[in-house]
Structure 1
């Protein structure tokens, strides 16, 4: 028999001993310790597995319960009540779960340190890998793994996984840290000048989003406000009604946004018309879903919703939902919590920010929103239309509520009064992130906060019509009343391989910059993109995949259609408010915004 061959094992009808089982599974036997690695185990051999033993007739001695697999090798070796090789029919007592977790922590502490550079493979290590199926370093990694549960009852699974899940959620809420300081991809800069508040969001050093609000302009930031309005006119042909909410222009309420109970409508037709739901001078509680833009008034809905940090509360509704961006296991956990925190007569939508949140945090968020709605109903009964019932927080607090999370390394604010408001708000909704809010003192820094973080440079470039690409190409953005047109050009990009490859790479650079400019400029509505024509079908598909992947980082709802034969891509992006260019500009008094001036000399003779 060869020297390196493993010893033969005689077949036996008796159950194998734990030592043989452990040796077969890749761990050294206790009877023959491995000099390369010592396993700390009890002095007495572990008890045999609790798997059902078959008689000579082949029948089982008892009914097998549910299958359980748990723990690493050392943890099972130290706990004789847990089998070394669990099979169908093995049972782990619930009272041993806590001991199992403690033993696992001891395994990690007692495990010898592994060298940073693994030793070269020797004949002995090759023999170990051949015998046990794993090398020494691979076994060391497996020993550091925590308890794993594949199929157990819900109570036992929750008990075993409670410690690791709670630690993971706590780390998610606090975020990553380096040398005691938070580490994140994003930074929020807030600059206040007179009555204008600007908020810039940086990804690394790149400006990706910008918000601006003026306190003197009451019509600019009414999105989310709740009003007690009065219907002024109902237009059956438009399936809409105009509602006076106290602004200079009447808001519009479409048929699809009207809330009603079908039992209250005495009509045989299934399609209820708007004149059957609303009448002139009727008072309605409605919420603004879109700010007034240009000559268009605000858009309303009767499906009122109150957004919070973790949930969105929907009064007079029984529906509930969970964000699709959350993983499946987190959605299941939140669904169990939602059954307890959801109040009667209210709908609840769990937001993406609720990942890792505790039941108490969700309960506090729901209770706070329910208290706000009770105040709104009380005021609506006493007020006369039109009147404002609830105002959304100012833009800084609203952006903090929607955006700020553990992925941000901080918020920098140059106004002390606003700084105190933000600290108080963050302390109420996310106390573990309150220390990331920083006051930026312009007097001591000597330069404005936007200039310090190079925001002003990128902001000026975002107001230009042409944007240059890294390889020398460019995109040109033109906005009209009906749609926005984006043209892609090669510009100075001459390439090195072939014309098709140059165009392909130029278009790939363009999709990344277009997705960034759509977010930064807050361009909404219909958008048409004219890419450079590509002959190869695979290149066109590659560009579309890259474009959809780049748009996936945008929280605003978008829909992209396939590329046409002319190389045009049509898409839509939800329009919520005015864009960046409109916020920083006004129509030219000479041309009225057309960009051209007519020749008055020629017009005299016409």
Structure 2
């Protein structure tokens, strides 16, 4: 495939554009979510609203360039190889050395006779120069984590250079996976791996091919820069937060993206026009000089953020949640508070716990809480009612992060059988 040098959008017919735009009412898009992007003194904030309710908030400062390096690619130098830990410490130019584990090495199986995975000291040596990508940001006294299997994400595909990787998102319907498999067979470069993302649903072959070409050009630039650089040096930096979020999340479920910075607005609009022109009209500019209220004040973001910092969260019927953090886990206590109910105690407890299920899901997402989570529900006795609570959780928890859904499951004491 030849390199692409321009970002002109692929021409799409009106029927395709209409299906991409999603539902509309009186010419205005109907979407579940709204994204607000505010820029001030180099600091970028993103607020995601579901209806009028804040569900996610992101903040990026200039100082984050040192600590928020996930996805960056470095020409790095091996400092120490530790066979006993099956790891190597690698200098990538950050204050603390990064760590590269044996399982994240990339090597030619032919060099080692195809006899299983070689030991780390057989692949790496001290002072060796390698190309690696950050998979985990440095935290406190721990350095970043690295992999030698670089992956470059695009809008519709992920390019895995020098790999045989071949995959299609399992979240897509089987009929669409079959279509995309045929497309991938025709556009995949021989020497590189490609993974088709969920965003590629109903995307044309030409658009996917263009995304692949754009990433190939990006990889060529990384390799060329590596050839004339000295380790340690940065070869590729992940785009700023707003572009990452739009690349990963923005689709027809969003009724709009509102940005209060003219430069950011123009760059985001140009990017969306090149990768998904059907949604470019959903990008709008909030002019701070002419609007009566700042962007976040207009959508009550600051008010909801202040509430998100409180340990106590009120439920609609008067109950409450108390959210406590410890070093090992997060504890959420469910209380009736002002909720005295209207019928029986069992029904009051049940309704309170149902409201808690919905609000807990929102708070975990908004506060970015993970790890071990213990939920202390109000005690109930009826097993049929108890069994309905996980079903309600399944209705409200799909929006939370996948790792949260898989690692966290509420437990309770339902007492003896009636």
TM-score by length of 1: 0.63
**Unpaired stretches in structure 2, ≥5 consecutive residues:** 1-12
Deviation (angstroms), 1:168: 6.5
Is contact 2:372–2:408 with CA below 8 Å preserved after alignment?
A: no
Does residue 234 of structure 1 match 2:71? Answer: no
1:183 aligned residue: 30
Q: CA deviation at 1:279?
A: 2.6
Paired position in structure 1 for 2:361: 515
Distance 1:532 1:262, change over 3 A: farther
Q: Which has the higher contact order (CA 8 A, sep 6+)?
A: 2
- The partner residue of 1:384 within 230, 240, 255 is 230
- Return the alpha-carbon distance in structure 2 between the equivalents of residues 517 and 420 of structure 1: 33
Alignment of 1:284 onto 2:130: yes
- Aligned-partner Cα distance in 1 for 2:181–2:104: 28
Tell me by how many angstroms 1:563 deviates: 4.8
- Assess if the C-alpha contact under 8 Å between 2:312 and 2:323 holds in 1: yes
Note the C-alpha offset of 1:424. 1.3
CA–CA distance in structure 1, aligned partners of residues 81 and 127 of structure 2: 10
Specify which structure has the higher proportion of strand: 2
Provide the C-alpha distance between the structure 2 equivalents of 1:267 and 1:343, rounded to a whole number of angstroms: 24
Matches within 5 A, 1:198-597: 198-265=45-112, 270=116, 272-558=118-404, 559-560=406-407, 563-564=410-411, 566=413
State the alpha-carbon separation in 2 of the partners of residues 489 and 273 from structure 1. 54
Shift of 1:235: 3.1
Structure 1 segments, 4+ long, off by >6 Å, are none
Q: How has the CA–CA distance of structure 1 residues 498 and 262 changed in structure 2, closer, same or farther, with 3 Å as cutoff? A: farther
Residues 306 and 312 of structure 1 are in contact (CA less than 8 Å); yes or no, is this contact kept in structure 2?
yes
List per-residue Cα deviations over 1:169-221 (Å, max 9, x = no partner). Answer: 44331222222222212111111111210011111111111111001332243
- The CA distance in 2 between the partners of 1:170 and 1:555, in whole Å, is 30
Q: 1:467 to 1:238 in 2, by over 3 A?
A: farther
SS at match of 1:547: helix
1:388–1:509 distance in 2 versus 1, CA, 3 Å: same
Distance 2:259 2:272 in 1: 14
SS at match of 2:317: coil
- Greater Rg by CA: 1
Q: TM-score scaled by structure 2?
A: 0.89
Cα distance change, pair 326–380 in 1 and its aligned pair in 2 (3 A): same
Partner of 2:19: 172
Alpha-carbon distance in 1 for matches of 2:373, 2:89: 28
User: Which has the higher mean CA deviation after the structures are superposed, 375-384 or 231-240?
Assistant: 231-240
Change (3 A) 1:265 1:549: farther
Q: Give the whole-Å Cα distance in 1 for the aligned partners of 2:68 and 2:358.
A: 30
Q: How far apart, CA to CA, are the structure 1 residues paired with 2:46 and 2:18?
A: 27
Change (3 A) 1:236 1:443: same
**Mapped contact 2:161–2:191 kept (Cα < 8 A):** yes
For the aligned residue pairs, the C-alpha RMSD in angstroms reads 2.2
Structure 1 residue 566: deviation in Å?
Answer: 5.0
8 Å Cα contact 1:187-1:408 kept in structure 2: yes
Secondary structure at 1:357 match in 2: coil
Distance change >3 Å, CA 541–CA 562, structure 1 → 2: farther
SS in 1 for 2:134: strand
User: For structure 1, which segment, 418-427 or 279-288, has the greater mean C-alpha deviation from structure 2 after superposition?
Assistant: 279-288
Residues in 1 aligned to 2:131 and 2:119: alpha-carbon distance in whole angstroms: 19
Distance 1:457 1:343, change over 3 A: same
SS at the partner of 1:445? coil
SS of structure 2 residue aligned to 1:198: strand
CA distance in 2, matches of 1:234, 1:482: 31
Q: Secondary structure at 1:522's aligned position in 2? A: coil
Alpha-carbon separation, structure 2, partners of 1:255 and 1:359: 37
CA distance in 2, matches of 1:259, 1:525: 30
Residues in 2 aligned to 1:563 and 1:422: alpha-carbon distance in whole angstroms: 40
State which drifts further: 486-495 or 321-330: 486-495
